[in-house]
Structures are given as structure tokens and as C-alpha cells.
Structure 1
Amino acid sequence: MTPATADRLKKPAHKAEPGEKAPPPDDSRLLYTGADWDYDTIKRCHDAIQDIALNELGLDVYPNQIEVITSEQMLDAYASIGMPLLYRHWSFGKHFARDEAMYRRGMRGLAYEIVINSSPCISYIMEENSITMQALVIAHAAFGHNHFFKNNYLFQQWTDAEGILGYLDFAKSYIARCEERYGQQLVERTLDAAHALMNQGIHRYPRRRLDLQSEARREQERHEMQRQLYNDLWRTVPAKKGQKAPSDEERRRALLDLPEENILYFLEKKAPRLANWQREVLRIVRHVAQYFSPQRQTKVMNEGCATYTHYRIMTRLHETGRISDGAYLEFLHSHTAVVFQPAFDDPRYSGINPYALGFAMMQDIERIATNPTEEDRAWFPGYAGSGDAMAALRDAWANYRDESFILQYLSPHLMRKMRLFHLHDDSDESVYRVNAIHDERGYRRVRQQLAAQYDFSSLDPDIQIADVDLAGDRRLILEHRVQNGVLLAEEDAKSVLQHVANLWGYDVMLVENDNDGKTLRKLTVPARTVLLAE
């Protein structure tokens, strides 16, 4: 060892301040050189990223579990909605075959990562990635998404990170046992019907915090109580001709807890002809649907949080000389592709890129907190000029979903920068009309209309179980409250209603009403009892 080398090793590493120019290259301080990697290199990158995430950005995360997988395993994860454990169903194989064919033909790429909302938080990284991309993925998924999963109120209300892996293991083994005992065909048809109703199988308002760890233990207890509960329900149906039928509609609806927006929940609890194991299958699918519902409502925020986090971490690694200029340029090439937003008249335009909007809003919050204008102070008095950007960001990440986040945080500055405007499309008019642009008169209108695009309470059809004809033919009556005069596609509606009828065991009628209560259309579908359990 030369004296110069010994002297360098004794000196403490210079710690660059945020925004400070990167120090001259020093190979002894680099986390890696070149593109190749091994597990020791990934461990060094993870530890350096974790130090910045926890100690500088103040993130709060679940323990991390990083798993390296092949491209084929990534495709398999795509097919099973990203979960490491899941029951078998033909639709997963169909998705795998489609995605693999498109990937092999070069018609689509693969995600750099998949991250699981669990504790430990599981992040899949592809073995084909370079070490710079592995570092980017770890910063993005293992710390950005991880922090959002742990701290956002929707995930705290509707998910159980501690119990999800154990519950999925129970679900996989339970459905496998059902296939052995009752036959694969009947189980598959039950799953088909449940999957068709997944978007109508979630609670939109909190009832109690989801506890998946107790679900497997409670399965037998539920089954032991089923017979008594269903006897109490169906003894109200007349057994003989001439017997007086229930005439009090309010009493009947109260008995059935109607109206009910969660169709899978209603069928699981009240369908008269389902076997106990079929009710448990509906319950499993319902829990999986509920588990993923927060992700649908926080796409912009979740990806914005993860993208902002990886940008801050990778930039900090470069500022402190932990990654080279070449590695940083490789990172920037990937990052800019992710947050690219085509203009509305660009052939590549397919809507607003959630990564672009989310990242831009996070950067804008940072700007307002640290260097606000008078306009910013007027619009955001709560945090403008506070000097603590991360505190403002952590508060936003914890307490909002996409719709409310855009309503609260989208600034006039960003609307001008992104050149946002509101285009009105009325089928009764021969031309489009620009209702609002990014100016003083249009800021609030543009913000409201953009936020409305992320409001799933208005985007998803409002369909509820309205009534059951207990005294007659036991027909199940569903009501669709039509918004803006848009009826359901008839063929698709009939296909889904057929699944409802098969689970209910009797005919099903869908009534589509406008806001004034006027009936616009009725669809009736008979049950096919061959799909029911014996």
C-alpha cells in the first residue's frame, strides 16, 4: 500500500450537500463499475439506498425482501396479478400466453420490477437488468412503493400486509382441496362467476380493518353457523299455498340488508343454493379484489411517490460519488422515458401518463415548500415556504388518494407547464368545445375535471342489489343508476348477469334508472342450475 493510498483510506468521505456538484470520480467510493452485478453488489446498493431513504428522506418502510427472477418468471407474475402465491385458474394461463407471445415478438417490453404490498415487502427484479437498473428498481419499489403501501390511509384501512401471504397460501390450498373433492370443472365455473364480479365485489366504505390472518382459522366456524343463518332467512318464504306472504317491503329489505353495493358479499351471505365451499371461494375472490382496490385509487400518487423517491435517491448517490457519471446518465435515460408525456396531438398520446403527472406534482410540491411564488402562497398557504419539502410530501402520501390529491395539490404553475385544458365532448353537438384552459378563469375548472377522471365512485357503474322477491319466484333485482345517460353494453351486461344468476340460483333482473328514477331499460336472465353445487 502506497502512502497516498493509506492517506486516502484514513480520510473521512466527503458528504455532499443536496444539490452540490458531484465530486471528481473516485473509483474507491463507487458502489459498482460497469453493468454486471452479483449479489454482493446488490447488497451494497441496497444498503446505500436504504441509508438515504431512511436517514435523509425520512421514509418509513416494511422490511424488504428482494428476489431476482427471469423474464419468464416476470411474465408468470404478470399473469397471477403479481402475487407470489395464488390459486390456479385458466385465465392466468391465458394472460401468460398472450403476454409471452407479445414479448417474444418485440411488441411489448416488461416492467423492470413488480412489488408486493406485504410485510416483508417483496420486490422482484429481473436478472437481465444492469446493476444501475437494479439500483433504480430497489429505490423505486423497495423504498418508494414500500413507504406508500405502509403509510397511505387507504392501504391501512383495506389491506393487511402482515397477513396477506399466509392468506394466499390458505386460499391456494383450499381451492386445490375443493378441486379434488368437488371436481375441477365446478370449482372453475364458480371462480369464473366470482372473477366476472370482482369489480362489483368490494366495499367502498370502511366497516372494520381487514384482518386476513384470522380468515383461515374462522373458516370452520363460519361453516358451522351457515345452516342456522340460512334457515332464519328462508323460513320467511311461504311453504304452502294460501299462507300470507310478507307484505312489508321495508322489513324484507332490512332482513336482507338491502340495498347492497357489494354483489359478491351479498351472494356469499345470502344466496340460498350455494354450498359452503362455494361461499368460501366467493369470499377468497372478494378479499383479493378488496386487497387491490387501493391500488386502483392511488395510481398517480403511488407511482409519483416511487418515481420521486428513486429520482432523489439516485441523484443523491451521484452527488456523493457513489455512482459514476455514466451510471447516472443510464439512469436518466430510463427515468425520462418513464415520465415522458406525449402532447394531445402526438400519435403516441393515450391519455395522461400517471408517472409523468405524479412525478411532476411531487416536484411541484417540493418547489412550493422551498421556493414559492406569491401565487403559490395564495393557493397553498398551509405548506408554501415551509422549507420542509419531505414533510409536505409525506403528509400528502399518507392522507390522500388520486382524486383528492389532485384537487388539493395541482397548482396553476403546473397546469401552465403541462398546458392542461378541458375538452367537452357532447354527442348531441357536431364539434368539440374547449371549456377551460390554463388561465385565471380556468384553473379550478381544469383541476376539478382532471380530478374527476380519477374518481372511481363515478367511473365504475353504480350497481346495487335492490330487492328480492321472497314471496314469489325469488328473483334477484339489481339496480343500475345511470350516469350521463350511458347505459351498460347489453351483451356484456347479460354475460355478467348470467354469472350472478348462476350463483344466486334463480332469475336475475337488472333495472337501469336515471337520476330521476325513470326506468330506461330492464334486462332479465334465467339461472342455469347445472352450474350450482349439488
Structure 2
Amino acid sequence: MADEGALLFSDNEWTFERIANVTERIAEIAEAELALDTYPNQLEMITAEQMLDAYASTGLPMYYPHWSFGKQRAIETGQYRRGEMGLAYELVINSNPCISYLMEENTMVMQTLVIAHAAFGHNAFFKNNSFFQQWTDAEGILDYLEFGKGYIAHCEEQYGIDVVSDVIDAAHALNRNAIDRARRPRKLSTREEERKRRERAEFIEQHLSEIWRTVPGAAEAAAAPQEDRFPREPQENLIYFIEKNAPTLETWKREILRIVRKIAQYLYPQGQTKIMNEGFACFVHYHVMHSLHAKGFISDGALLEFYASHTAVTFQPDFDSRRYGGINPYTLGFAIFQDIKRICLNPTKEDREWFEFAGDPDWLRQIHFAMREFRDESFVLQYLSPKVMRDLHLFALANDPKGESFEVTAVHDDQGYRYLRSALARQIAESARSPDIEVVAVNRWGDRHLHLKKMDTHPLDQAEAKRTLDHVARLWGYDVHLDAGDVVMIARAKASPS
């Protein structure tokens, strides 16, 4: 191990020894200067081809097979080889140990940067953010992925690839409406999952026998009591409801729905914390790289290479630029975390009017609190300052589809800042939210159709909604009605049981 003041590397070729030495130094800085609490790290070196494989499977280290992953792989491979897209320098898995994939093509400076960013920044966020703590199981996800992959492979052997693929198609169409937002998932090992799977099969048979014990007919429908409503309360988790209550769905298909649902639940917090997660990881790597330089562990040239990469990642094109694609989550998240530190150490009069913590010398405590207790929407509402709005040139527009022009609804004054912060938080929340479609009733005593209702006011894509309803009908086994406010859509079951 190098002494302080001795460079960890003098040229830009990475070796496993250099990576081990850099990781050890970064760990010391992360603990001593940033007080980061992380899972144990597991670093894995992969090629560009392996990175494309990881892209296709949403970055998970193992996944069940499905045609959509191969399609995505083919599309991204073509784009990469034509120079239309680049690859991430790393991927990181919310697991214990935390797995970080590093690209073989990276220089040693880039390996240092991504170890700080992923293996310590993202890692600490995964372990400590309350949203991840509540909704994911870093201890059990690898075991569960192994269980799911093995179970679906077994189903393909027993029932055929095409039949299994049809079930997964339907589950994927619904997986954004497969989230329990009010119930914490249970943590089970692979062995426990297999035992629970057998118990579920027995329970479902008894449960469904009780619910659907009577063949529907006109007399029963007329005599059914009004209070015998099923379900008694609207249900937001569509896959869970179908998994537990579909009248004729085979047990193995229910288990596939459960596997897709559990993985969707695991990925849910990532969509709710993109700005914070990337912003915090950038904040960590920025501090670490400067600390390594200050201690003499990396050269001036290495720091300049870092600046080039960091600036590219956090670059925000202007709204009228051809490169503009919305607000860069790296830019916004990093700017807010840096600003929290500034507000603590060098507050202005404006900062003191906006933030109670302004002037708190313990900036690290404020950074940790922000990282732990919020998700993107509330993070922006709590911490977006007028200075960051000015620095990023943020403003609000109202777009009337019937009008001939846009209207600027917020500019840089006190009232405008507050409106702009609220408007941005709403936009972030809406972009991460799936259509609010809930199960409101099942016609148990009649034709057994499933009645869904759209609970929000956002418009639906009619063609996509119809295709999704067809998937629901195939799983449910009977007709499905969707009350979308201004229209009622109906999907007919192709082969409704008599």
C-alpha cells in the first residue's frame, strides 16, 4: 500500500492490484471524511458485450429468459456499434454484498471515479435511504433472482417456451401496476420461497374454491346481497389481485406473476429516487477524487481527466439546445447536495430566509439526513434553493394545447421560486407514477367480469390501454371492463370458461 503523498498510479493502465489499492484508500476517505455506512463491496470487471447484456436485463446480475431482453439487446448493440449511444462506465446492484460492474475499457482514472461513485456513493444510498430500507431486501434479492430464474426455466421445460412467454408478456404489461405502496415486502431466502410456493399452491386452491364455489346464474345474481362486494376495498396492485383471485389461472402461472411482481417491487425505489441517488453518488465521487488529489494519491493530470468526465456527466443542455432531453438528474441532484453543504458553511441572507439549517457547521449531518429521509419529489420540495434555480436557469411554462403560444408562469422572484419548486416536484412525481388503475369490483354472481377504474385524471393512450386490457383478460379468464372516465373500454376473454 502506498504511503500518503505517493501516487497510487502513474500511468493510466488499470491492474487488479491498483484497483485494490485505490479501493482501500477510497474506503478510508469514505469512512473518515464522509462517515459512509456501506454494504461489503464486490467489484467485477466486465466487457462492453457483457455491459450490453446487463443493460438488456435492467442491470440485474441474473434474470429469467424472455424474448424482450433479446430484442432490447439487439437494438442497443446496433446503436452502440453505429456510435449512436455510449455505455455506462459502471453498473451497481442493490444487494448485500453490493455488486459493482466496472468496464474493462475504462482508464485507471475512470476506474477510480466509478469505484467512488458506485461502490461507495450508490452503495451507501442503497443501504441508508429509508425508501430502499422499506421497500427492498438487499440481503435476499440475489437468492430470489436465482429462484425465479430456475422456476421459469422449469416451467419452460414442462409447459413450453411460447406458453410461458405469453404469461410473462402479460405480467410485463402490468408490472408498473404491481407495487404495494402501503405494505412492506417480506424477506425470504430461496429455500423459504420454495416452501412458501408449495404452501401458496395449497392455499390458493382452497381460497378460490371458497370465492368461486357457486356457478353464476340469473337467480343467484338477482338474489346476491349488495353488501357482498368483492373486493371490499379498491385494490391498486393489479398483478397481486389477479395472482390471488383469478378464477381459472393455473398455479404455475400465478407463481410467474409473483416473480415478476416481486422484481418490479425491488426496482420501484430506483424510479422514485433517481435524482437523489445519482446526485449523492456524484457528491461522493467529487469529494473523494479531490481528497485523493489533496493527499497526493492522484496526479494533476488524473484530476483534469476526472473533471472532463464529471463535467460530461453533470452537463445540462439549455432548453433550446438540440441536445436538450429534459432535466439531467445527475445535474440537479449533484447541484442540490453541493448546495446543502454551501448553505451550511457559507449561507447568505437569502439562504437563512429559506432554510432553517443555514449556518449549521455540521454539514455532513445535514447531507446524511437529506440522503436518508427523502425521495426525489420531497427532496426537491425541501432543498431546491433560489441559487440552484438561478444557476440552472430554471423557469416554468404553461402549455395550453388550444393556445398558439406558451406562457411563462414563474420567473426569478420570491413568488416565482416557490411556484417553480412546487411545479418541478409535481413534474417529478408524475413522471415516476404509473397510471392509477384499481380493481373496484368483480361480478361474482353474474358473468364474473373484472371491473377496473382509472383513478387519476391523466389521459391514457387508447391503443396501449386496449392491448394491456387484452393481457388482463387473458390472465383473468373473463371479460375486463375499464372505466376511464370519459369512456368504458372492454376486453373480451378469448376463451371464457362456461
Q: CA deviation at 1:458?
A: 8.1
Report SS of the residue matched to 1:363: helix
Output the aligned Cα RMSD. 1.7
What do residues 166-189 of structure 1 show as CA deviations (whole Å, max 9, x unaligned)? 010000100111111111111110
Question: Are residues 465 and 451 of structure 1, via their aligned partners in 2, closer, same or farther at CA, if it must alter by over 3 Å?
Answer: same
Q: CA separation in 1, counterparts of 2:264 and 2:176?
A: 7
Q: Which amino acid aligns with 2:187?
A: D
* Partners of 1:474 and 1:507 within 8 A in 2: yes
The match for 1:398 is 372
* Partners of 1:68 and 1:126 within 8 A in 2: yes
Q: CA separation in 2, counterparts of 1:249 and 1:280?
A: 33
Equivalent residues in 2 for 1:116-515 (5 A)?
Answer: 116-205=93-182, 207-213=183-189, 214-238=192-216, 242-243=219-220, 245=222, 247-253=224-230, 256-381=231-356, 383-456=357-430, 459-483=433-457, 486-513=458-485
Unpaired stretches in structure 1, ≥5 consecutive residues: 1-8, 14-25, 514-519
Q: CA separation in 2, counterparts of 1:308 and 1:228?
A: 53
Q: Which amino acid aligns with 2:195?
A: R
Report SS of the residue matched to 2:229: helix
Report SS of the residue matched to 1:114: strand
Q: CA separation in 2, counterparts of 1:258 and 1:286?
A: 21
Q: Which amino acid aligns with 1:258?
A: E
Select which of 470, 494, 497 maps to 1:528.
494
Q: CA separation in 1, counterparts of 2:254 and 2:65?
A: 18
Question: Are residues 141 and 244 of structure 1, via their aligned partners in 2, closer, same or farther at CA, if it must alter by over 3 Å?
Answer: closer
Q: CA deviation at 1:249?
A: 3.8
Report SS of the residue matched to 2:415: coil
Question: Are residues 241 and 360 of structure 1, via their aligned partners in 2, closer, same or farther at CA, if it must alter by over 3 Å?
Answer: closer
Q: Which amino acid aligns with 2:290?
A: T
Q: CA separation in 2, counterparts of 1:170 and 1:243?
A: 43
* Higher mean C-alpha deviation, range 322-331 or range 220-229: 220-229
The match for 1:5 is none
Q: CA separation in 2, counterparts of 1:458 and 1:98?
A: 24
* Partners of 1:164 and 1:212 within 8 A in 2: no
The match for 1:93 is 70
Unpaired stretches in structure 2, ≥5 consecutive residues: none
Report SS of the residue matched to 2:24: helix
Question: Are residues 246 and 201 of structure 1, via their aligned partners in 2, closer, same or farther at CA, if it must alter by over 3 Å?
Answer: farther
Q: CA separation in 1, counterparts of 2:11 and 2:223?
A: 78
Q: CA separation in 1, counterparts of 2:160 and 2:167?
A: 11
Q: CA separation in 1, counterparts of 2:138 and 2:47?
A: 25
Q: CA separation in 2, counterparts of 1:55 and 1:245?
A: 72
Q: CA separation in 1, counterparts of 2:160 and 2:104?
A: 39
Q: CA deviation at 1:468?
A: 1.2
Report SS of the residue matched to 2:488: strand
Q: CA separation in 2, counterparts of 1:194 and 1:246?
A: 35
Q: TM-score, normalised by structure 1?
A: 0.90
Q: Which amino acid aligns with 1:278?
A: K
Q: CA separation in 2, counterparts of 1:377 and 1:394?
A: 20
What do residues 216-243 of structure 1 show as CA deviations (whole Å, max 9, x unaligned)? 33111111212111111112554x6534
Q: Percent identity?
A: 53
Question: Are residues 217 and 200 of structure 1, via their aligned partners in 2, closer, same or farther at CA, if it must alter by over 3 Å?
Answer: same
Q: CA separation in 2, counterparts of 1:359 and 1:69?
A: 27
Q: CA deviation at 1:273?
A: 1.0
Q: TM-score, normalised by structure 2?
A: 0.96
Q: CA deviation at 1:245?
A: 4.5
Q: CA deviation at 1:491?
A: 1.1
* Partners of 2:397 and 2:408 within 8 A in 1: yes
Report SS of the residue matched to 1:477: strand
* Partners of 2:221 and 2:446 within 8 A in 1: no
Q: CA deviation at 1:163?
A: 0.3
The match for 1:19 is none
The match for 1:62 is 39
Q: CA deviation at 1:429?
A: 2.1
Q: Which amino acid aligns with 2:267?
A: F
Q: Which amino acid aligns with 2:78?
A: A
Q: CA separation in 1, counterparts of 2:184 and 2:101?
A: 31
Q: CA separation in 2, counterparts of 1:291 and 1:404?
A: 21
Q: CA separation in 2, counterparts of 1:394 and 1:101?
A: 41
* Partners of 1:157 and 1:210 within 8 A in 2: no
Q: CA separation in 1, counterparts of 2:155 and 2:221?
A: 41
2:60 aligned with 1:83, yes or no? yes
Q: CA deviation at 1:258?
A: 3.4
What do residues 236-286 of structure 1 show as CA deviations (whole Å, max 9, x unaligned)? 554x65346453344323xx3431111001000100111111111000000
What do residues 478-510 of structure 1 show as CA deviations (whole Å, max 9, x unaligned)? 111342xx4311111110000000000011111
Q: CA separation in 2, counterparts of 1:506 and 1:444?
A: 49
Q: Which amino acid aligns with 1:328?
A: L
* Partners of 1:236 and 1:246 within 8 A in 2: no
What do residues 39-97 of structure 1 show as CA deviations (whole Å, max 9, x unaligned)? 00000000000100111100010000000000000000000111111110001100111
Q: CA deviation at 1:456?
A: 4.2
Question: Are residues 265 and 257 of structure 1, via their aligned partners in 2, closer, same or farther at CA, if it must alter by over 3 Å?
Answer: farther
Structure of greater Rg: 1
Q: CA deviation at 1:389?
A: 1.5
Q: Which amino acid aligns with 1:500?
A: V
Q: CA separation in 1, counterparts of 2:104 and 2:119?
A: 16
The match for 2:14 is 37
* Partners of 1:497 and 1:508 within 8 A in 2: yes
* Higher mean C-alpha deviation, range 86-95 or range 227-236: 227-236
Q: CA deviation at 1:428?
A: 2.6
Q: Which amino acid aligns with 2:331?
A: A
Q: CA deviation at 1:437?
A: 1.1
What do residues 106-142 of structure 1 show as CA deviations (whole Å, max 9, x unaligned)? 1110000000000000000011100110010100000
The match for 1:21 is none
* Partners of 2:272 and 2:432 within 8 A in 1: no
Q: CA separation in 2, counterparts of 1:46 and 1:135?
A: 8
Report SS of the residue matched to 2:490: strand
Q: CA separation in 2, counterparts of 1:343 and 1:237?
A: 63
